[in-house]
Amino acid sequence: MSVAILALMEEDDTLAGEDLTAELQESNKIKLEVKKRLAAINKRLTSIHQPVLPPSPSPEVIPPVANLPLHQSSFVRARLPKLEVRKFGGNINEWQEFWDSFESVIHKNEALADVDTLSYLQGLLVGPAWSAIARFALPSANYKAATDLLKRRYGKKNAILRAHINELLNFEPIYSE
């Protein structure tokens, strides 16, 4: 009886080996098809270009990773959230934050002409800040004069420090002891 059981077990091993080989071959075919489709998707993603106005001066391209396979190491464009520069109304405490974001997104953007940057600047100023440069027309020669005037008026380090200190001294805590 034990001889019959051993014979059946050997027969099962032979069938399992044949089934395993066929399954491995099928698995390899599926892997190859998935790799081809991923390469096609990657190729389409790298060819998509969606400009953002104004274009961000920061790089949108993620450099390839050295240890990835060749078909995955091509450049990929990242979809970054749209950056918004808050309007500036002349509050000296808000100047540095405004100028830093404006400078990053618009001022240092080499794809924009000075006339465009002046237009963006005028659109982001309100109240006294807008009044300060309202006399400047849109020719590109006026952009530098407008930014210089704003920096002289609102970008004084000592005045900014004094304003922050005054704001801190006038701060009233919400709770009391």
Q: Are 59 and 96 found together in one domain?
A: no
Whether 83 is in a domain gets the answer no
- Asked whether residue 84 is domain-assigned, the answer is no
The verdict on pTM exceeding 0.85 is no
pLDDT on residue 138: 72
- Do 13 and 62 lie in one domain? The reply is yes
pLDDT number for residue 115: 84
Specify whether 73 is located in the same domain as 96.
no
Pair 56, 121 in one domain = no
Question: Dihedral sign, CA of 165, 169, 172, 177?
Answer: positive
Q: Is residue 148 part of a domain?
A: yes
- Residue 23 is part of which domain span? 2-77
pLDDT per position as a tens digit, 92-147: 888 989 999 999 888 888 888 888 888 888 889 999 998 888 887 777 678 888 88
Does residue 150 lie in a domain region? yes
176 in a domain, yes or no? Answer: no
In a domain, 85, yes or no: no
Is the pLDDT reported for residue 59 higher than 50?
no
Q: What are phi and psi of 125, to 5 degrees?
A: -105, 145
Q: 68: closest CA among 45, 44, 38?
A: 38
Most confident of 23-32, 58-67, 124-133: 124-133
Number of domains in the chain: 2
121-158 b/e (C-beta count within 10 Å ≥ 16 → b)? bbebbeeebbebbeebeeeeebbeebbeebeebbeeee
Confidence band of 20 (pLDDT split at 50, 70, 90): low
What is the structure's pLDDT at 18? 65
Query: Per-residue pLDDT tens for 134-166?
Result: 887 777 678 888 889 899 998 888 888 888 888
DSSP E strands in the chain: the ranges are 61-62, 76-77
Which of residues 73 and 105 earns the better pLDDT score? 105
Q: Mark which of 77, 100, 135 sits at the end of a domain.
A: 77
14, 72: one domain: yes
Q: What is the pLDDT of residues 28-45, one digit of tens each?
A: 888 888 788 877 777 776
- Residue where a domain stops, chosen among 42, 77, 112: 77
Q: Verify that 44 and 99 share a domain, yes or no.
A: no
Q: Are residues 70 and 7 in the same domain?
A: yes
Quick one: 154 and 130 in the same domain?
Answer: yes
Residue 65 shares a structural domain with residue 130: no
pLDDT of residue 51: 42
